[in-house]
Amino acid sequence: MNLLNEIQRRRTFGIISHPDAGKTTLTEKLLLFGGAIQTAGAVKSNKITKTAASDFMEIERQRGISVATSVMVFEYQGKQINLLDTPGHKDFAEDTYRTLTAVDSVILVIDSVKGVETQTERLMEVCRMRDTPVIVFINKMDLEGRDPFDLLDELEAKLSIKVQPMSWPISKGYSFKGVYKIYDKAINLFEASKTKRAEEVVQINDLSDPLLDELIGEYADELRSEAELVETVYDTFDVEKYRAGKLAPVFFGSAMNNFGVKELLDKFVEIAPTPQPRETNVRTVRPEEEKFTGFVFKIHANIDPRHRDRIAFLRVCSGHFERNTFYHHTRLNKDFKYPNPVTFLAQAKSTVDEAYPGDVIGLYDTGNFKIGDSITEGENMQFKGIPSFSPEIFKELVNRDPMKTKQLDKGIRQLTEEGVAQVFFQEPGSRKIVGTVGDLQFEVIKYRLENEYGAKCDFEPKAYYKACWITSADAMKLSEFKRIKGNNMVVDKEGNDVFLAPSKFMLDLERQNYPELEFHFTSEFMVAS
């Protein structure tokens, strides 16, 4: 099959949401409809009843949350679906932001009871920065939640995007009967089933069909009036506006009970964009180019603790990746061969011989990769838009077992290379200061250091406001600043100078006092524009 055909077959998307909106449950049900799994685990009351397919770290199983991006691949209606399930917890937002650089569209899950929440707004801001196409799935319609029209109004007001209902709920809460597919005049009526695929679809000629009264009784007239209002208020769906990130189609359902999930998946396969072009520091890379290119957006050590493996997640951007072929690592300016690339179903991995644009593959890594690295067939370029952000919480790493110092050093370097946190080094004494965007990350790091590396540690809070990467064309001024601000100067893993500002006031003051210096709040300055 040729390259263009393979590109047309692929749909690569991420699922994003506020915690507890039902994102992992929806992921499982999509896998269920795609035939990738036969029964789904349930995530209920923040406890894993049966391990969720996409949650594989032990701490995820204990806490009932996703803290690492999972990749799942399955076939559906002749298309290859590459699904990236992201952490919902705000403390792991940076992992989600980076994952959004590797997808071509997203499905945003909204809790019908709680509506749009703060984390939802932040995630949508990232999507809007890149004009990422968004499909909204309003979940938990079988619970006593908000009015559907109120939810649509809130989506438009808080997320600054036009919406277009593609399905409509037939009542809600305890009287929820199913969904009406507006675009093809079909009704799906389901029995509550948490583990099996629901297939019952009833085609009706139009809403005046008397069959509707037989099927849903007293709710038929309510559906008729609401559907008429939807047609009056909302424009006809425009697929090009959706692909341009200007219009979000909306589906209603219950992921837990399989309401509305098939409608979502069927329409997604039809309208979602194929793999899209990507920007580099030298040019735009188009997927149909013959030569292979790709970038690393995530690294995960010990994905299987029994084998101590470390895997770099690579998004293929153009051309055709082949196993056992030498490719150029642009940052290291070296060529490497990858004999065992893998594809994923969460923790399960299988070796792949080739990959095409849109695919996410895992490359076994011995320490050569960092997040943001680019791989090509020889061209020197760096893909843009995969920065490390300035942390918001800082704590000093304290070794509680001097006999395991080497394990601690190795562990903190590997874990921070995954992007869950950043580590800064301060002399004298090689103090290590870890920075994150949320407190839960420290809990995860401590757990993994002890359980994966045998190293015990504590974290002592430090009162810093922000980490700023410092550069300057004036070497004398930079040297002066580092000397005067020595107590607040550290270096990152790459040896770049970083200023840990104690407060916003002090940061603003230093920027005024040293106009010759540039203060960067993400690491993207290292990618030449």
| Consecutive 10-residue averages of pLDDT for the chain (529 residues) | 91 90 88 75 37 49 50 90 75 71 95 90 82 95 92 94 93 86 81 53 76 86 91 90 95 88 92 96 96 92 60 94 96 94 73 93 88 94 79 92 92 82 84 86 88 92 93 94 93 90 95 94 60
Per the listing, tokens 């341009």 go with 244
Cα 439 to the chain's mean position, in Å? Answer: 19
Question: What is the pLDDT at residue 45?
Answer: 34
Residue 57 phi/psi, 5° resolution?
A: -80, 140
- What does CATH list as the number for 3-271? 3.40.50.300
pTM of the entire structure?
A: 0.79
φ and ψ of 440, to 5 deg: -60, -30
For residue 529, the model assigns a pLDDT of 40
Please tell me the distance from the alpha carbon of residue 183 to that of residue 230, in angstroms, as a whole number. 12
The pLDDT, as a whole number, for residue 384 is 85
Do residues 24 and 37 touch, judged by C-beta distance below 8 A?
no
Q: Which of 69, 50, 72, 70 is nearest to 61 (CA)?
A: 50
pLDDT of residue 366: 83
List where CATH 3.30.70.3280 sits in the chain. Answer: 393-526
- Residue with tokens 């699904």, as numbered in its chain: 83
Stated as kind and residue range, the H or E segment containing 310 is: strand 310-318
Q: Where, residue-wise, is CATH 3.40.50.300 in the chain?
A: 3-271, 279-376
Q: Does domain 279-376 have CATH number 2.40.70.10?
A: no
Identify the burial level of 77 via C-beta atoms within 10 angstroms of its C-beta, where 0-12 means exposed, 13-18 middle and 19 or more buried.
exposed
Distance in angstroms (rounded) separating the CA atoms of residues 385 and 15? 19
> How many C-beta atoms lie closer than 10 Å to residue 9's C-beta?
17
| Per-residue confidence (pLDDT) for residue 303, from 0 to 100 | 53
Q: How, if at all, do strands 393-399 and 517-520 pair?
A: unpaired
The CATH architecture one would assign to domain 393-526 is 2-Layer Sandwich (3.30)
With vertex at residue 35, the alpha carbon angle to CA 179 and CA 245, rounded to the nearest 5 degrees, is 55
Crossing angle for the helix pair 118-129 and 93-100, to the nearest 10 degrees: 30
Identify the pLDDT of residue 197: 52
